[in-house]
Amino acid sequence: MREICRSIKKKDHDPKIEGRSRYLADYNLTDSGREILCGKLLRSQYARARVKGVELPDMPDGYIYVDASDIPGDNNVNIVLDDTPVFARETVEYIGEPIGMIVGPDEKEVSRLISETKVDYEALEPMTDLRKADKAFFNYEFGHGDVEKAFAEADRVFEEEFTTGYQEQAYLEVQGMMAEPEDDGKMYVHGSLQCPYYVHGALARAMGTGPDGVHIYQDVTGGGFGGKEDYPSILGCQVAVAAKKANAPVRCYFDRREDMEFTPKRHPSLCRYKMAVKDGRVTAVDCDVIFDAGAYSTLSAVVLQRGIIAAPGIYDIPNVHVTGRALKTNTVPCGAYRGFGAPQTFFAVEMMMSHIAQALGEDILEFKAKHYVKQGDKTSTNGLYHFPVPIPAMVDEVDELSDLRRKHKEYSKPQSGRYRRGIGLSTYFHGAGFTGSGERDIIKAVAKLHKYPDGTVEVLASNSDIGQGVRTTFPKIVAHELNIPLEKVYYDHPDTARVPDSGPTVASRSLMTVGELLRRAAIKLRNIWVEGEEQEVEEHYKEPDFMIPFYLDRFEGDAYPTYAWGVNAIEVEVDTYTGVTNILGAYASFDVGTPVDYNIVMGQMEGGFLQGIGYASIEKMDYDKNGKIWNRSFTDYLIPTAVDVPELKVTLHVEEYPDGPYGAKGAGELPLVGAAPAFVAAVEQALGGAEKHPLHSAPFNAEDVISELNKEVK
Ligand code: MOS
């Protein structure tokens, strides 16, 4: 491997390990020495209602109430569409929607005042059934070839429906934001967040000040996984409105229950697939993808786009038709979670392909293999796979790790007895970086390097370290290119008053896209380097020349410059008495290009894979018919803990990407995306295969195993 891959100690390792890192909840006073007021949200008790009035209890001195009437600018949080309010408009649209906020010096007193506030509601009928929901925030359609003809000429046609559930990000640090009015009239907003300039744009609009009236800083952030992509914009606006009215710093951070119940999670999905088979090959796919957006549209447009572009999987299918809708329900708005729409559709397409193989009496692995796309083939949107598709080699690598092919044959023989085994395979990609033309048309990333007279170099960019290590890997790239010691390069937490907009920390883009800008900036600086002088260089994003421009109105062109690739195999033993599925091994080959720090990348691969295993197996969350989320704590929403980590064997397959730094591609999201179909396919095999027990849902937990087995008895 290249020199850059060698692992080093993370720049923020010591302060985190020693407990010195200051998270938002750790501030006793503001940095300017001011007292911090506590804000708590008054939340709707109804999934849909008209708010006729709010009756406050007697408010002690120093305690105030704020709501939509206090917003100086627009009551719209700048995300994608203009529908998410800062505080509720005339109606509330989900249980937990913020109506207002009570602010004051003592947290307990604020809680008491919230609990004694009476809201007068006129209840309205909520929509809490995705199958009946009819309001589409987004409605997309694309395809190519002649799907109708292919179905008419098919030997066989298969039609199935797949569902997936919520997934909660469960970051270690819950959501929290703080706002401080400054002496010069600006509003300073900071907290636990992924995207400083998203928060900046939202604040500029809600506060009515324009971009110069606000600045945003990212505090040490204990994980995001997508959950802090949009939400800090909402909470940031709320605390800023409160701080403006109180003319004092206001902080709001949640407890775990509040965070779990009322902040965004992965979209539940309902996917209907129809595939045509002729002469043993899939000739057409027609799929309809539905995502449960919740009450407001937030990020659903982009989540849905990524989901539907991936809907035909990594298979060379000549005729494609895809429709996708993000539907409104009166439930908490869904948002971003590692994978961003792709885990849902890859679950569906992978299960569908394996079901068809079984119905045709073919070996699943061989059936998939004969459909894999290759370099030069067209993507679902008539773009091109410009670079090698290493899937066959990666399947071999996983076979080596897991003995996949032999076990797959062995476990497909009839099994009896209490414990039964299965092994499932998934093969998939993750589009590297922003979907479509976002990078070129919207983000337009800028990154800078600033050299001080003593020869230290500061990275100026807006990407946040949320545990994935950019405070380490960005300086590593710059130090490498300048050929100076790593200690001479540093990257602080971004403050929009000081750094250019290098874009959000999302979509597995930071290292690949911004890291490459920094590499180029470092080359520039090296070429003009003058000892003892203060110097600055700047780089702007430019779309790689080879890309076929993407048009969102037609879903045409290269949706991504390149792809990270994944092959997973999960081996299980199902206890048919208890339903408990024991994972005997989870095996993966991941191609994220060059790992710019081996340990950091392996940490991402193993951690993401484990999150995917949780999504596949035990992480079950749902709402009742009133739109209330059942699960509000780690006792009723289970995520894998240390004791649940199975034998994980992960290997890296490196296909270098010429437009990423040293060949690096997007890495962060890939490892989560394929776990669910591999796990559920394994359970299906253990239960006797799709002919006996075709499985169509994830997560698939012990209760699901038992209800599936009970079908045999009935
Ligand atoms: Mo991410 S799931 O693109 O914040």
What is the total count of domains within the chain? 3
The reply to whether 584 and 695 lie within a common domain is yes
d(CA 358, CA 381): 29
- DSSP letter for 664, please: B
Atom of ligand 1 at shortest range from CA of 504: 4
- The preferred substitution site among 506, 509, 511, 560 for testing ligand 1, maximizing ligand atoms within 8 Å of CB, is 506
Could you tell me if residue 663 is left (phi over 0), alpha (psi between -120 and 50 degrees) or otherwise beta? left
CA-based nearest residue to 223, from 585, 465, 500, 567: 465
534: phi then psi, degrees, rounded to nearest 5: -90, 125
Contact 218, 24 (CB under 8 A): no
- Rounded distance from Cα 36 to ligand 1 centre (Å): 31
| Closest C-alpha among 564, 568, 589, 586 to residue 394 | 589
> Average pLDDT for residues 88-107, to the nearest whole number?
98
Please compute the mean of the pLDDT values over residues 330-340 and round it to a whole number: 98
For ligand 1, the distance from its centroid to the CA atom of residue 224, given in whole angstroms, is 8
Could you give the CA distance from residue 18 to residue 33 in angstroms, rounded to a whole number? 24
243 Cα distance to chain centroid: 30
CA-226 nearest atom, ligand 1: 4
Q: pLDDT (tens digit, 9 = 90+) per residue, 387-400?
A: 999 999 999 999 99
Q: Ligand 1 centroid to 401 CA: how many Å?
A: 30
Given this model, what pLDDT does residue 712 score?
Answer: 83
**CATH code of the domain in which 632 resides:** 3.30.365.10
- CA 435 to ligand 1 center in whole angstroms: 11
The answer to whether position 5 is within a domain reads no
Are residues 501 and 648 part of one domain? no
Pair (306, 367) in one structural domain: yes
> Do 532 and 566 sit in the same domain of this protein?
no
Token pair for residue 232? 């800090």
162 within some domain: no
CA distance 302 to 373: 24
- N-terminal to C-terminal alpha carbon distance within the chain: 57
- pLDDT above 70 (res 714): no
Say yes or no: 697 and 670 in one domain: yes
The answer to whether residues 220 and 304 belong to one domain is: no
Residue 4 located in a structural domain: no
Q: Which one of 175, 263, 338, 435 would you pick to mutate in the ligand 1 pocket, going by the greatest count of ligand atoms within 8 A of its CB?
A: 338
* Over residues 32-59, mean pLDDT: 98
Q: Is the peptide bond before 105 cis (omega within 30 degrees of 0)?
A: no
DSSP 442: I
**584 vs 372: CA distance, rounded Å:** 27
Average pLDDT estimate for 520-537: 98
CA of 114 to the centre of ligand 1 (A): 33
Cα(364)–Cα(355) distance, integer angstroms: 8
pLDDT digits (tens, 9 = 90+) for 341-355: 999 999 999 999 999
Nearest atom of ligand 1 to the alpha carbon of 339: 2
Point out the ligand 1 atom lying closest to the alpha carbon of residue 336.
Answer: 2
DSSP helix/strand/coil, 644: helix
Kindly give the distance from the C-alpha atom of residue 438 to the centroid of ligand 1, in angstroms, as a whole number.
Answer: 14
The reply to whether 225 and 302 lie within a common domain is no
Q: Is 535 exposed, middle or buried (0-12, 13-18, 19+ CB in 10 A)?
A: middle
Tell which one of 169, 171, 229 to mutate to probe ligand 1, the residue whose CB is within 8 A of the most ligand atoms.
Answer: 229
Q: Say whether both 420 and 528 belong to one domain.
A: no
DSSP percent split of the chain into helix, strand, coil, nearest 5? 30, 25, 45
Q: Kindly state the tokens that stand for 304.
A: 């849905």
* Centre of ligand 1 from the C-alpha of residue 266, in Å: 10
* 480-482-487 Cα angle (round to 5): 70
Q: Rounded to the nearest whole angstrom, what is the distance from the C-alpha of residue 306 to the centroid of ligand 1?
A: 11
128 and 47 Cβ atoms separated by less than 8 Å = yes
Q: Is residue 2 part of a domain?
A: no
Run of H or E residues at 647: none
Beta bridge partners of 625: none
Q: What's the gap in Å between 334 CA and the centre of ligand 1?
A: 12
* Closest to 680 (Cα-Cα) out of 569, 566, 576, 588: 569
State the pLDDT at residue 128: 98
Tokens of 704: 């699901």
Ligand 1 centroid vs 621 CA: distance in angstroms? 20
d(CA 90, CA 420): 56
Alpha carbon of 69 to ligand 1 centroid (Å): 32
Helix ranges, 565-687 (H):
598-617, 670-673, 675-686
Q: Are 267 and 341 in contact (CB under 8 A)?
A: yes
The last residue of a domain, from among 206, 237, 260: 260
Atom of ligand 1 nearest to the CA of 338: 2
User: Tokens at residue 331, please?
Assistant: 């439930």
What average pLDDT does range 231-257 have in this prediction? Answer: 98
DSSP 83-132: ---SS--SEE-STT-EEEEEEES-HHHHHHHHHT-EEEEEE------TTT
Same-domain pairing of 431 and 443: no
Measured in Å, residue 302 CA sits from the centre of ligand 1 at: 10
Q: Is residue 97 part of a domain?
A: yes
Arithmetic mean of pLDDT over the chain: 97
442 with 431, same domain: the answer is no
110-114: long-range contacts (C-beta < 8 A, 24 or more apart)?
A: 110/38, 110/39, 110/40, 110/63, 111/40, 113/56, 113/57, 113/59, 113/63, 114/40, 114/41, 114/42
Atom of ligand 1 nearest to the CA of 228: 4
Q: What is the mean pLDDT of residues 98-105?
A: 98
Q: How far apart are CA 605 and CA 610, in angstroms?
A: 9
3-class secondary structure, 605: helix
Do 339 and 428 share a structural domain? yes
Ligand 1 atom nearest to CA at 507: 3
Per-residue pLDDT, 327: 98
Is the model's pLDDT at 202 over the cut of 70? Answer: yes
Reported as type and span, the H/E element at residue 669 is none
In-domain check, residue 9: no
Q: Looking at residues 273-299, what average pLDDT do you find?
A: 98
Per-residue model confidence as pLDDT tens digits over 602-628: 999 999 999 999 999 999 999 999 999
* Domain extent for 531: 438-540
Q: Model-level pTM? A: 0.98
pLDDT in tens, 627-656: 999 999 999 999 999 999 999 999 999 999
Q: Please compute, for residue 416, the number of CA atoms within 13 A of its CA located in the half-sphere on the CB side.
A: 0
CB 178 within 8 A of CB 189: yes
What average pLDDT score do residues 362-381 get? Answer: 98
User: How many Cα atoms sit within 13 Å of 147 on the Cβ side?
Assistant: 13
Q: Which of 169, 304, 340, 443 to mutate to test the pocket of ligand 1 (most atoms within 8 A of CB)?
A: 340
Tens of pLDDT, residues 251-279: 999 999 999 999 999 999 999 999 999 99
pLDDT tens digits, one per residue of 671-697: 999 999 999 999 999 999 999 999 999
* Residue whose token pair is 């109804």: 46
Nearest atom in ligand 1 to 508's CA: 3
Rounded Cα–Cα distance for residues 292 and 296 (Å): 10
Phi, psi (rounded to 5 degrees) for 568 = -120, 145
Residue 372 has pLDDT above 90, yes or no: yes
Ligand 1 atom nearest the C-alpha of 669 is: 2
The pLDDT, as a whole number, for residue 637 is: 97
Residue 1 is predicted with a pLDDT of: 83
Residue 111 vs residues 39, 67, 572, 640: alpha-carbon distances, Å: 9, 17, 47, 32
- Give domain status of residue 213, yes or no: yes
| Res 542: pLDDT | 96
- Give the CATH number for residue 62: 3.90.1170.50
Cα-to-centroid distance, 508 and ligand 1 (Å): 7
Q: Report CA dihedral (208, 212, 217, 218) to the nearest 10 degrees.
A: 70
Q: How far is the CA of 335 from the centre of ligand 1 (A)?
A: 9
- Residue 70, φ and ψ in degrees, nearest 5: -95, 0
The verdict on 375 and 515 lying in the same domain is: no
Main-chain dihedrals φ then ψ at residue 364, nearest 5 degrees: -60, -45
Please report whether residue 153 resides in a domain. Answer: no
| Confidence check: pLDDT of 473 > 90 | yes
Domain endpoint, select from 513, 540, 567? 540
Ligand 1 center to 507 CA (angstroms): 5
- CA 78/CA 464 separation, integer angstroms: 20
Q: Name the phi and psi angles at 48, rounded to 5.
A: -155, 125
Pocket of ligand 1, beta carbon within 6 A: 194, 226, 229, 336-338, 340, 506-507
Q: Which of 199, 232, 260 is the last residue of a domain?
A: 260
Residue 34 has pLDDT above 80, yes or no: yes
CA angle, 250 as apex, 246 and 256 as ends, to 5°?
A: 140
Q: Which helix (H) or strand (E) holds 398?
A: helix 391-402
